């Protein structure tokens, strides 16, 4: 958290002169560029860019950035976001009974691998309460049934507001979110699904993979949309299995994949390395 940088994320129609205009703007305002990456999508005629610079010596106060950058943004019809390293992302983790992804995220956060704040864990079971206490994170039990789902989500919304949450991570949270929930937090919910999407959408994917006799299993981290398990994919990984593996073996191997895939997705989000378009993601190095 010692670094003091700004990151500009840009999406706009592709045209000549965009990179030159941004580079010149930053140079004229004494910015020391640390990272710059870009992507052109010819099919959609889109230009996407991530540029990060050191704020030491930068001549524009970040509070006035929009005013100074407006002319360039209008010229190229940009959608843009400015992210500051000194304002860490505040993360809420939702979990049910399986604790492997939760434990991994908390451990990586404690070790400094995830540079964010994790002030809140919400669960519809009490199984992970002791783990939350061990890591010093506030734990809230919110029971969810088919009859109280709206009230339960209203309580969760209140907690997100209270803790000023920026990102919601579903770490094997075994509940389907309502359309209202998803619409309330667009591009702010990351889920881990225990299959290599688009294969085996929905419940019990390891069991269906076993029944199908697949030779590869996987895990997928994606942003949540109203359509179940079809949001923009952030990261995926796979492991090979054989006829000797039973359902329990698939589940065990899959848990390792789930931990790794989810932690990468969360890390890239909090480091502002992801841009979304056309139900896809661009992950900048």
3-state secondary structure of 141: strand
Q: Is pLDDT of 2 > 80?
A: no
For residues 116 and 175, what is the distance between their CA atoms, to the nearest angstrom? 25
Last residue of a domain, one of 84, 107, 139: 84
Last residue of a domain, one of 84, 111, 140: 84
The arithmetic mean of pLDDT across residues 77-99, rounded, is 97
**24-28, 77-81, 227-231 — which is least confidently predicted?**
227-231
Query: Residue for token digits 């979110």?
Result: 177
Claim: this prediction has a pTM higher than 0.85: yes
- Per-residue confidence band for 33, with pLDDT thresholds at 50, 70 and 90: very high
Structurally, the chain folds into a number of domains equal to 2
Same structural domain, 65 and 144: no
Q: Which of 151, 229, 249, 285 is catalytic?
A: 229
Strands 90-95 and 167-170: parallel
Q: How many residues make up the chain in this entry?
A: 285
Same structural domain, 214 and 168: yes
Same structural domain, 67 and 166: no
Residue 128 lies in domain: 90-283
CATH number at residue 30: 3.30.70.260
Same structural domain, 27 and 153: no
Last residue of a domain, one of 49, 84, 119: 84
Residue 77's pLDDT is what? Answer: 98
Count how many Cα atoms sit within 13 Å of the Cα of residue 193 in the half-sphere of its side chain: 27
Same structural domain, 254 and 144: yes
Helix axes 100-110, 247-270, angle to 10 degrees: 40
Same structural domain, 112 and 78: no
Q: Is pLDDT of 199 > 90?
A: no
Say if CB 195 and CB 217 are below 8 A apart.
Answer: yes
Q: Burial code of 6-23, b = ≥16 C-beta within 10 A, e = fewer?
A: bbbbbbbebeeebeeebe
Residue 203's pLDDT is what? Answer: 84
Same structural domain, 77 and 106: no
Residue 1's pLDDT is what? Answer: 54
For residues 282 and 10, what is the distance between their CA atoms, to the nearest angstrom? 12
Q: Is pLDDT of 121 > 80?
A: yes
Same structural domain, 157 and 229: yes
229 is catalytic: yes
């Amino acid at each position: 958290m010692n670094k003091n940088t700004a990151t500009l994320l840009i999406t706009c129609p592709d045209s000549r002169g965009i990179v030159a205009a941004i580079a010149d703007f930053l140079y004229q305002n004494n910015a020391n560029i640390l990272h710059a990456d870009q992507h052109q999508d010819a099919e959609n005629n889109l230009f996407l860019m991530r540029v990060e610079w050191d704020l030491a010596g930068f001549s524009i106060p970040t509070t006035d950035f929009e005013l100074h950058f407006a002319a360039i943004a209008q010229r190229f019809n940009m959608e843009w976001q400015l992210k500051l390293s000194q304002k860490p992302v505040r993360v809420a983790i939702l979990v049910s009974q399986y604790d492997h992804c939760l434990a991994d995220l908390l451990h990586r956060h404690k070790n400094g691998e995830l540079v964010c704040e994790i002030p809140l864990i919400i669960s519809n079971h009490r199984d992970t309460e002791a783990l939350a206490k061990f890591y010093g994170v506030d734990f809230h039990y919110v029971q969810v049934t088919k009859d109280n789902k709206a009230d339960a989500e209203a309580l969760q919304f209140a907690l997100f507001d209270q803790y000023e949450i920026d990102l919601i991570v579903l770490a094997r949270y075994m509940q389907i979110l309502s359309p209202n929930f998803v619409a309330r937090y667009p591009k702010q919910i990351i889920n881990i699904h225990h299959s290599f999407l688009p294969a085996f959408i929905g419940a019990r994917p390891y069991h269906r993979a076993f029944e199908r006799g697949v030779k590869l299993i996987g895990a997928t981290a994606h942003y949540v949309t109203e359509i179940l398990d079809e949001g923009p994919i952030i990261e995926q990984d796979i492991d090979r299995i054989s006829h000797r593996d039973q359902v329990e073996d698939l589940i065990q191997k899959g848990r390792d994949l789930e931990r790794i895939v989810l932690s990468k997705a969360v890390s890239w989000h909090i480091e502002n390395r992801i841009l979304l378009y056309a139900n896809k993601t661009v992950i900048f190095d």
